[in-house]
Homo-oligomer: A and B are copies of this chain.
Amino acid sequence: MFASHFSAHNIPFGIASSEGHPRRSAATRLENTVIYLDELAKHDLLSSLPKEALDAFSHVDLNGFAALPKSIHQQTRAALQSLFKEPLASLPAGCTDKLNNVTMHLPVSSRDFTDFSCSKDHVLNAGEAIQKKRYLPPGFLHFPIGYSGRTCSLIVSGTSFVRPKGQFRDAQGSIVYGPTKQLDYELELACIIGKPTKLGETVASKHADDHIFGYVLMNDWSARDIQGLEMPPLGPLNGKSFATSLSPWIITLDALQASAVEGQPRELQVASYLMDSNPINSYDIALQADLITGGKSTIICKSNLNAMYWTFRDLVVHQSSNGCCLNTGDILATGTISGSTDDSHGCLLELTNGGQYSFELSDGQSRIYIEDGDEIQISALASDGVGFGECTGKVLPADL
């Protein structure tokens, strides 16, 4: 699946294991082949790289590698691209595995995770769905608003989870306790922090990219009914913290460079610390969400990262603007990536206008929110052909 996303222009980084390679280690992917970086290092096939990179390839997460200078990431990319000019079959036994034989793991160990709200369309549509009015929160045009998520809820693509229980208002407005009746997905991208900062340090916009190791897909599963009751005034907690899916392959800034574009214009002048003198501050990345049930797939959203009002550089700058530190492996996510059209709603809250309308699946069934057994697959492809593969998750019935 998605083999074409992973040409030699991509060179993503992930953590993989298999029966033949039982210990988790750093890996990359070329089409449908996974290549273990620790094995390449053992066979002296990456001898141009510094020892700290080679050592980091045998860690169980990418944090050690991600924290190294960006120049080492670039050297690694170049060394792998050079190696892949020869057929993979010429690599020593044990260096590669077919994707189907491999288990992918969370690529990094994350200590903190912020989910921002970068999409103006999402915020306006969500306001209409919930409060019957299209409006922006008071801070929205001034800085990226966001909330801290719970890192223990992070799961890797392909992991199923149980429908969460909680308290919410039923149709009559009474507060009841039970399995959520409004399970939703959120189509997102997230950046993973490489170079860390210290508490008290701020990051200037021109240095923000230096702190980003790369990007992954994220599905911020949401129980809208639980979330709706708990949000005022402290924001979401149990409506989100039961599962958050990440794609396993981290796509680097270098891989996406050819797809970099100008982001959306500012509607208000922003504070000095958020001024970005480099207008090429976004990426042309097409995103898609599919609902899969009974083996049949239905496209439920097509949108683009470039519709976002706030950029990843803005997120890094704003998060650190109060002296908050960034640790390697930290995750800063976009929030739901919606566009302005009816087919670009990045969550069901928007698509069904708060549960008012149902939508049809390709097999003739209909849905308002996600039902037990449904699987959501999100995927992303940059304009230059570099892709993220997929991020999937299936909902299991609640424990009763």
CB distance from A112 to the nearest CB of B (A): 5
**A302-329 contact mask (Cβ, 8 Å, vs B): 1 or 0:** 0000000000000000110111111100
Chain B residues closer than 8 Å to A139, beta-carbon distance? 167, 175, 229-230, 232
Chain B residues closer than 8 Å to A336, beta-carbon distance? none
Chain B residues closer than 8 Å to A233, beta-carbon distance? 137, 231-232, 235
A242 at the interface (CB under 8 A from B): yes
A111 at the interface (CB under 8 A from B): yes
A243 at the interface (CB under 8 A from B): yes
Given the interface pairs A139-B230, A229-B139, A235-B147, the reply to whether A241 lies near B322 with Cβ below 8 Å is yes
Q: Using a CB-CB cutoff of 8 Å, which residues 123-151 of chain A contact chain B? A: 137-139, 142-143, 145-151
Judge whether A152 and B111 touch: CB under 8 Å: yes
Copies in the complex: 2
CB distance from A268 to the nearest CB of B (A): 9
Chain B residues closer than 8 Å to A137, beta-carbon distance? 232-233
One of A22-30, A41-49, A64-72, A158-166 at the interface: A158-166
Return 29 A-B CB contacts under 8 Å, by A number: A111-B111, A112-B150, A112-B151, A114-B237, A139-B175, A139-B230, A142-B229, A143-B167, A146-B237, A147-B148, A147-B237, A148-B148, A152-B326, A152-B327, A153-B199, A161-B200, A162-B200, A162-B323, A165-B202, A177-B271, A199-B242, A199-B243, A202-B399, A226-B322, A233-B235, A234-B236, A235-B235, A238-B324, A242-B323
Total A residues in contact with B, Cβ cutoff 8 Å: 60
A117 at the interface (CB under 8 A from B): yes
Chain B residues closer than 8 Å to A273, beta-carbon distance? 165, 177
Most B CB contacts (10 A, CB to CB) among A148, A151, A162, A399 go to: A148
A40 at the interface (CB under 8 A from B): no
A272 at the interface (CB under 8 A from B): yes
Chain B residues closer than 8 Å to A202, beta-carbon distance? 165, 399
* Cβ 8 A contact of A151, one of B111, B165, B226: B111
**A230-265 contact mask (Cβ, 8 Å, vs B): 1 or 0:** 111111111101110000000000000000000000
A118 at the interface (CB under 8 A from B): no
Chain B residues closer than 8 Å to A165, beta-carbon distance? 202, 273, 321-323
A351 at the interface (CB under 8 A from B): no
A155 at the interface (CB under 8 A from B): yes
Judge whether B166 and A234 touch: CB under 8 Å: no
A349 at the interface (CB under 8 A from B): no
A253 to B138 CA separation, bound complex (whole angstroms): 44
Chain B residues closer than 8 Å to A162, beta-carbon distance? 200, 323
Given the interface pairs A137-B232, A273-B177, the reply to whether A148 lies near B241 with Cβ below 8 Å is yes
Given the interface pairs A112-B150, A324-B153, the reply to whether A234 lies near B232 with Cβ below 8 Å is no
Chain B residues closer than 8 Å to A226, beta-carbon distance? 322
CB distance from A170 to the nearest CB of B (A): 13
CB distance from A17 to the nearest CB of B (A): 20
Judge whether B167 and A271 touch: CB under 8 Å: yes
User: Which chain B residue lies CB-closest to A243?
Assistant: B199
Given the interface pairs A199-B153, A234-B235, the reply to whether A322 lies near B148 with Cβ below 8 Å is no
